[in-house]
């Protein structure tokens, strides 16, 4: 579905905890195999935990007409020191196909570039082929690494990476 509705992507703050909670719980109901936690686990988390996540885990929210319609997070991965990753991507069904998902990925890509990174990594479950196809379409490629999800060994995670060099501002004599 293509929409003329403008979307705004911005960093999440502590004040966004309830919107983040609502989106995450919706995501876990919509596509439970895509995430490392379950709805049953996440619904029990305290308000303080949601506030801490919103304030410290580099979440970005996509909004339309005052309503949160998407989320994504950027972070590090202890299994791959020195790399920067995208986590928790979700767009509400009524905002899919509008370009908001690409805007969320761009927000995390800029976060990576601001930290001196040149590549953005993610894990996507093979149980959600539309997500993998979307990531390929916007420039991610599979690295060849796969492994099973900790919470459910029947789910296979595929590692993908996107080279961000094309997003860097051109330089003149090494100065941006």
| CB-side neighbour CA atoms (13 Å) of 56 | 6
Q: What's the pLDDT at 4?
A: 54
Residue 162 has pLDDT above 70, yes or no: yes
**What is the DSSP code string of 65-111?**
TTEEEEEEEEEE-TTSTT-EEEEEEEE-GGGTTTTHHHHHHHHHHHH
pLDDT grade, residue 6 (50/70/90)?
A: confident
Q: What's the pLDDT at 167?
A: 74
Residue 5 has pLDDT above 90, yes or no: no
Q: Give 71's strand partners.
A: 61, 90
* Rounded-to-integer distance, Cα 80 and Cα 138, Å: 23
Residue 10 has pLDDT above 60, yes or no: yes
Residue 2 has pLDDT above 50, yes or no: no
Residue 161 has pLDDT above 60, yes or no: yes
* Rounded-to-integer distance, Cα 137 and Cα 134, Å: 5
Give pLDDT tens digits for 79-135: 999 999 999 999 999 999 999 999 999 999 999 999 999 999 999 999 999 999 999
Give pLDDT tens digits for 11-28: 999 999 999 999 999 999
Q: Which helix (H) or strand (E) holds 56?
A: helix 47-56
pLDDT grade, residue 170 (50/70/90)?
A: low
| Averaged pLDDT of the chain | 92
Give pLDDT tens digits for 59-84: 999 999 999 999 999 999 999 999 99
Give pLDDT tens digits for 147-156: 999 999 999 9
CATH topology of domain 8-117: Aminopeptidase (3.40.630)
* Rounded-to-integer distance, Cα 6 and Cα 128, Å: 27
Q: What's the pLDDT at 1?
A: 39
Domain ranges of the chain: 8-117
């Amino acid at each position: 579905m293509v929409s003329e509705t403008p979307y705004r992507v911005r960093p999440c703050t502590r004040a966004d905890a309830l919107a983040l909670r609502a989106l995450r719980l919706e995501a876990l109901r919509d596509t439970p195999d895509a995430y490392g936690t379950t709805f049953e686990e996440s619904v029990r988390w305290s308000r303080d935990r949601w506030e801490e996540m919103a304030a410290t885990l580099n979440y970005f929210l996509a909004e339309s007409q005052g309503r949160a319609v998407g989320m994504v997070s950027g972070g590090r991965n202890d299994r791959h020191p020195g790399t920067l990753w995208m986590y928790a991507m979700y767009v509400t069904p009524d905002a899919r196909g509008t370009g908001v998902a690409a805007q969320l990925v761009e927000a995390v890509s800029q976060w990576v570039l601001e930290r001196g990174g040149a590549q953005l990594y993610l894990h996507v479950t093979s149980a959600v082929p539309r997500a993998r196809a979307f990531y390929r379409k916007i420039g991610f490629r599979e690295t060849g690494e796969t492994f099973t999800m900790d919470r459910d060994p029947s789910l296979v995670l595929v590692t993908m990476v996107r080279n961000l060099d094309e997003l860097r501002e051109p330089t003149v004599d090494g100065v941006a």
